[in-house]
């Protein structure tokens, strides 16, 4: 099995990482992709990227956008220069980390409404990252919450991404699945599938072509439901991928072995390993 989105570098897992990876391997999980989230966190990737079966990406998550030195300015040229310098730093970090993708990047409307980086600031930094991924011919790892229309507009504006990417933890409607796939993107699903209120996620799962489907844990940020209910404060682990694969297989009415093989093959195709 291949966990296409797992934060092994976050403190909740990093403190006992060897134990977590042993437990996951014992369940049949063999590979993990770890996305970088922001400049203050990129350094943590060095502790995981050399481990067997682990690949990394580097990007600026919408929650971390304020770490990018790109101040709002009345002078558009000054802002453009600052943004260009930030993207040069990101490009340098991508090479230094041996990243196989750019991300996690994207848009998050609830975070903006809760006092986080503004929607416009998120958009500016996200668009610059899409352009950089296109230039460097890297796939993208997308975080999109409440902004699927705006994301699709930006994808069309930037132009085709040579290596595509993935919309992780998909939360959009079933109707938008085809549009993302048309942009060359995979669709990732995680623990949300295990909750009793996951009707929309399950409908979207059915819509995704099998060769564009990925499965993930997003550990430690998400954990599978217990008897259909998500427990507040419960942290996910890499071994939870087994539960996600089993639930997705049940929804799709295929064997867990078949789905595990198909989604691992897809992840290897996306990330190149």
**Does residue 30 lie in a domain region?**
no
**Does residue 261 lie in a domain region?**
yes
Q: Which of the four pLDDT bands, split at 50, 70 and 90, describes residue 44?
A: very high
At 184-197, the pLDDT tens digits run: 999 999 999 999 88
Q: How far apart are CA 160 and CA 137, in angstroms?
A: 10
The residue range of the domain holding 161 is 2-25+36-271
The whole-model pTM stands at 0.95
Nearest C-alpha neighbor of 3 from the set 47, 70, 48: 48
Q: How far apart are CA 127 and CA 183, in angstroms?
A: 15
Out of 74-78, 85-89, 137-141, 263-267, pick the least confident. 74-78
**Does residue 31 lie in a domain region?**
no
User: Does pLDDT of 112 surpass 70?
Assistant: yes
User: Does pLDDT of 268 surpass 70?
Assistant: yes
Over residues 54-72, mean pLDDT: 88
Number of domains comprising the chain: 1
Q: Which of the four pLDDT bands, split at 50, 70 and 90, describes residue 72?
A: low
User: Does pLDDT of 131 surpass 90?
Assistant: yes
What pLDDT was estimated at residue 76? Answer: 72
What pLDDT was estimated at residue 82? Answer: 84
Nearest C-alpha neighbor of 60 from the set 17, 105, 99: 105
Share of the chain above pLDDT 70, in %: 97
At 76-93, the pLDDT tens digits run: 777 788 889 999 999 999
Phi, psi (rounded to 5 degrees) for 170: -55, 130
CB-based burial label for 200 (10 Å; 0-12, 13-18, 19+) = middle
What pLDDT was estimated at residue 172? Answer: 94
Out of 139-143, 228-232, 259-263, pick the least confident. 228-232
Q: Which of the four pLDDT bands, split at 50, 70 and 90, describes residue 74?
A: low
CATH at residue 208: 3.20.20.140
User: Does pLDDT of 73 surpass 70?
Assistant: no
**Does residue 86 lie in a domain region?**
yes
**Does residue 48 lie in a domain region?**
yes
**Does residue 175 lie in a domain region?**
yes
Over residues 113-117, mean pLDDT: 95
User: Does pLDDT of 230 surpass 80?
Assistant: no
**Does residue 128 lie in a domain region?**
yes
**Does residue 82 lie in a domain region?**
yes
Nearest C-alpha neighbor of 51 from the set 21, 24, 11: 21
**Mean model confidence pLDDT for the chain:** 94
Share of the chain above pLDDT 90, in %: 86
User: Residue-wise over 156-167: b if at least 16 C-beta within 10 A, else e?
Assistant: eebeebebbbbb
What pLDDT was estimated at residue 234? Answer: 86
Q: Which of the four pLDDT bands, split at 50, 70 and 90, describes residue 70?
A: low
């Amino acid at each position: 099995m291949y966990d296409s989105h797992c934060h092994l570098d976050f403190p909740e897992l990093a403190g006992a990482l060897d134990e977590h990876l042993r437990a996951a391997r014992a369940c049949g999980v063999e590979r993990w992709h770890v996305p970088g989230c922001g400049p203050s966190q990129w350094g943590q990737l060095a502790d995981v990227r050399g481990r067997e079966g682990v690949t990394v990406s580097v990007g600026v998550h919408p929650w971390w956008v304020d770490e990018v030195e790109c101040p709002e300015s009345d002078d558009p040229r000054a802002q453009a220069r600052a943004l260009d310098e930030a993207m040069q730093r990101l490009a340098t970090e991508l090479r230094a980390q041996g990243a196989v993708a750019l991300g996690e990047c994207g848009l998050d409307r609830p975070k903006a409404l809760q006092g986080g980086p503004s929607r416009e600031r998120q958009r500016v930094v996200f668009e610059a990252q899409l352009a950089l991924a296109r230039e460097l011919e890297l796939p993208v790892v997308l975080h999109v919450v409440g902004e699927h229309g705006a994301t699709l507009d930006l994808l069309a504006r930037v132009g085709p991404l040579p290596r595509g990417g993935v919309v992780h933890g998909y939360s959009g409607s079933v109707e938008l699945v085809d549009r993302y796939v048309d942009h060359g993107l995979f669709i990732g699903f995680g623990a949300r599938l295990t909750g009793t209120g996951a009707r929309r996620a399950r409908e979207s799962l059915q819509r995704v072509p099998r060769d564009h489907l990925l499965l993930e844990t997003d550990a430690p940020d998400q954990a599978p439901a217990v008897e259909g209910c998500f427990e507040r404060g419960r942290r996910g682990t890499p071994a939870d991928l087994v539960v996600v694969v089993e639930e997705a297989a049940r929804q799709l009415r295929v064997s867990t072995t078949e789905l595990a093989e198909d989604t691992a093959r897809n992840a290897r195709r996306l990330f190149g390993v």
